[in-house]
Amino acid sequence: MKHNWLNNFFEYASQVLNGAERSFLDLLSIIVPYCVPIIPAYLTYYHTMNIMNFPAWVAATAAFVVEVLGITSVATAIRFYRHNQRYKKSIERNAANSAPFWLAVFVYLFYIVIVLVVNVLLEKIAGTRSTGVIIAIALFTMLSFPSGVLISIRTQYTEILEEKQASRLINARGGLPMGGSQSPQPMGFNPVARVKYASDYKDRIVSMLDDTYSNTGQVLAPKDITSKLKLEHANNKGYVSTLTKEWKNKKGL
């Protein structure tokens, strides 16, 4: 009994510590990428203020905006690349669906030119530091690239989890067969917010039937109703047909 009690205690402690470790590492992986640009930002601040003789507040502004430009351009380029790969077939049919990946890459290259000139070329011209120190400064100025990549892939992973959750919600509502797949949609697509069902338009369908019959003496077909409401006919024709029959019975038709 004593052995079992100790075994249960250590298993519980192990689970708690392992969970805490995972949570702590996850927290660090969120915070650290946003702290990394502080180093190249300081280098930009130092060189613009001490070598280019910028006022302190201008140098601080330059350091901030340049590093934000670098980290966001990397994250945007990766996001656009993933979008273009995921919706490649749609882009082949219509080039307008393509995200401007190369434009984002150009923005990052422009950032690289700026930081290398400010932090490396000016040091070389000043000649106050050794070659090894200048190389180290050059490497530090490039830290925004790995931090931008990490931020981007974490964001994309979160979006993937949200998409899976949205798909499960749609399946639960009957919008898709269980275990079925949903066609990929372009960036910004929110399946939960945009998927509609005929039951959401019950009053409107009845109103459409009344107006059409009053004006033309004809009864709208289910296909016409789903088309006017921009609904998927295959998934909604059963409800529309049933509602139309109920409406006709009330009208004595």
Q: Is the pLDDT of residue 53 over 70?
A: yes
Average pLDDT over residues 232-239: 78
Q: Which of 38-42, 148-152, 225-229, 242-246 has the highest mean pLDDT?
A: 38-42
pLDDT score, position 192: 47
Residue 44: is it exposed, middle or buried by C-beta count within 10 angstroms (0-12/13-18/19+)?
Answer: buried
Q: Of 45, 93, 37, give the one whose Cα is nearest residue 70.
A: 37
pLDDT score, position 45: 92
pLDDT score, position 1: 47
Could you report the per-residue pLDDT of 162-171, keeping only the tens digit for each?
777 776 766 6
For residue 34, name the pLDDT band (cuts at 50, 70, 90).
confident
Q: Is the pLDDT of residue 64 over 90?
A: yes
For residue 251 the two structure tokens come to 């009208």
Average pLDDT over residues 81-103: 80
Q: What is the spatial distance between Cα 180 and Cα 168, in angstroms, rounded to a whole number?
A: 10
Residue 165 DSSP label: H
pLDDT score, position 171: 64
pTM of the model: 0.56
Give one word for 133, left, alpha or beta, with left for phi > 0 and alpha for psi -120 to 50: alpha
Q: What is the spatial distance between Cα 45 and Cα 58, in angstroms, rounded to a whole number?
A: 9
Residue 65: C-alpha distances to residues 14, 27, 69, 96 (Å)? 45, 25, 6, 30
Mean pLDDT of the chain: 79
Hey, what's the torsion of the CAs at 46, 48, 50, 54, to 10 degrees? -130
Q: Is the pLDDT of residue 218 over 70?
A: yes
Q: What is the spatial distance between Cα 217 and Cα 211, in angstroms, rounded to a whole number?
A: 9
Average pLDDT over residues 46-72: 90
Average pLDDT over residues 41-62: 91
Q: Is the pLDDT of residue 173 over 60?
A: no
Hey, what's the torsion of the CAs at 246, 251, 252, 253, to 10 degrees? -80
